[in-house]
Amino acid sequence: MRLAAAFFLSLTLSAAPQPAIPDTKAGAVLTAWLDAFNSGDHARLSAYLDKYEPDHKDRLDQLMNFHDQTGGFNLIRIEKSEPLHVEALVKERGGDNFALLKLDVSDSNPPSVTQLNLHIVPRPPDQAQTPRLTFDEAVKALDAKAADLAGQDKFSGDVLIAHHGQIVLEKAYGLADRDKHLSNTLDTQFRIGSMNKMFTATAILQLVGEGKIDLAAPLGKYLPDYPNHDVATKVTIRNLLTHTGGTGDIFTPEYDKHRLEVRELADYVKLFGSRGLEFEPGSQWSYSNYGFILLGVVIEKVSGVSYYEYVRKHIFEPAGMHATDSLPETDSVPNRSVGYMRKDGAWVPNTDTLPWRGSSAGGGYSTVGDLFRFAQALSSGKLVKPDLFAQMTSKQASAPEMPAGEGYGFGMGISDEPQGKRFGHGGGAPGMNGELQIYPRSDTVIAVLSNLDPPAASRLSDFFDERMPAR
């Protein structure tokens, strides 16, 4: 699903006057954030962070890039207001997406931001709708949009659209390596971030289908020596697959200190295994990269081979995915693109942010062609038994912060669309962004991969989603 890139949206400035913002501490910070962010001015954004988010000065480059990618936000209306909390509906300046901005602040002078989140939401009924196109028109519009964004240096990557099993658009845009002036091709391999979670969930369900894993069993059944007793005894495999286990993230200051030392899945357990639960398993939803690390460790324990060997033999090979893997960054992968993140207004390699290698939580690499082949193999029953595939692609969990109609299955984001159900997963991190979305009713697949910061790929997937025929 698109939560991994939810912070990175794109918004359309309206001539209508801005709605009144509440005269509260939360309202004052919202005003300051919008003014600073929409200015696109380095000094104003820095001053905002100094005053309201002093512990997050490292986000300045991220915010500047976010502004470069989006152009800013138009405030549509205030949805909820409390003294220390405000929720605002906002819209893209140059695109189609609407988002709900949620802001919490402390009761201090000046207040400090304790949480600021942006989540894509469906277009409100009272807002003008993007006209639906014929399928062929939508494909042509997507191609033109990708080319336009590539010309503005806001997209670099590959796009694939398939309909009824036939590829109708497969095209490369931009550069795979700026220093060497190498263009992207259809063979270019892009880092896919959290999209690895689809492969991990598929592997778990294969082992469930073979009777080797029980979805209801606690983690400790498969990892009896797991360091934390509560995690081992309370968190089930189902909890891990649906992000309802309370197992937390891996991207922490502790991880940053050991980024290049964490080389195998077991190393993550050494780093985080003693950590307790963030909440009672099953009581809420919270995206957990560490939960999918643990699923990878379970796969290794049950299968007797490394996670990487398992997915190669049981997913990539049967699906014909010969350009997908998670080899270490130190290994030579001839067609692997260089990822570029925005820093001080320029695109720079993301090398110093990358993990040692991809994992069961994310970080591998693939091509749009391989992602299409994965979608075909998964949907046809070649990889997972039909009853388990049905569960995988049905809502198993949801949360208040998710857009209306969205939920999470087993390693898949699920959404109810005018086009029918959509399932898939996105991935996003500095210098990488990807989307695979599958529409079973119309038998349509869209795969977009980019070697630029989010929302480079997600923007195009959303663009097509808004314009493809509803029926």
Amino acid at 257: K
Residue 251 has pLDDT above 70, yes or no: yes
Half-sphere exposure of 186 (CA within 13 A, CB side): 10
Q: What is the pLDDT of residue 402?
A: 75
Encode pLDDT of 445-454 as tens digits: 999 999 999 9
Whole-angstrom distance, CA of residue 384 vs CA of residue 386: 6
3 pLDDT above the threshold of 70 = no
Structure tokens at 96: 């189609």
- 204-222 confidence digits (pLDDT tens): 999 999 999 999 999 999 9
Q: Which two tokens stand for residue 249?
A: 């993230």
* 166-206 pLDDT tens trace: 999 999 999 999 999 999 999 999 999 999 999 999 999 99
| pLDDT value for 17 | 63
| Tens-digit pLDDT profile for residues 328-350 | 999 999 999 999 998 877 899 99
CA gap 12, 71 in Å, rounded: 8
- CATH number, domain 199-310: 3.40.710.10
User: Average pLDDT over the chain, rounded to whole?
Assistant: 91
For residue 260, the model assigns a pLDDT of 87
Q: Please report the pLDDT score of residue 120 as a whole number.
A: 73
**Stretch 45-56: mean pLDDT:** 91
Is residue 149 very low, low, confident or very high in pLDDT (cuts 50, 70, 90)? very high
3-state secondary structure the chain: CCHHHCCCCCCECCCCCCCCCCCCHHHHHHHHHHHHHHHCCHHHHHHHHHHHCHHHHHHHHHHHHHHHHHCCEEEEEEEEEECCEEEEEEEEECCCCEEEEEEEECCCCCCCEEEEEEEEECCCCCCCCCCCCCHHHHHHHHHHHHHHHHHCCCCCEEEEEEECCEEEEEEEECEEECCCCEECCCCCEEEEECCHHHHHHHHHHHHHHCCCCCCCCEHHHCCCCCCCHHHHHHCEHHHHHHCCCCCCCCCCHHHHHCCCCCCCHHHHHHHHCCCCCCCCCCCCCCCCHHHHHHHHHHHHHHHCCCHHHHHHHHHHHHHCCCCCECCCCCCCCCCECCCEEEECCEEEECHHHCCCCCCCCCCEEECHHHHHHHHHHHHCCCCCCHHHHHHHCCCCECCCCCCCCEEECCCCEEEEECCEEEEEEEEEECCEEEEEEEECCCCEEEEEEECECCCHHHHHHHHHHHHCCCC
Give the CATH number of domain 135-196+324-467: 3.40.710.10
- Please give the CATH architecture assigned to the domain spanning 3-121: Roll (3.10)
pLDDT band at 11 (very low <50, low <70, confident <90, very high): very low
What is the residue extent of each domain of the chain? 3-121, 135-196+324-467, 199-310
Give the lowest-confidence range in 42-46, 109-113, 230-234, 402-406.
Answer: 402-406
What integer pLDDT is reported at residue 438 of this predicted model?
Answer: 98
Domains 135-196+324-467 and 199-310 share a fold: yes
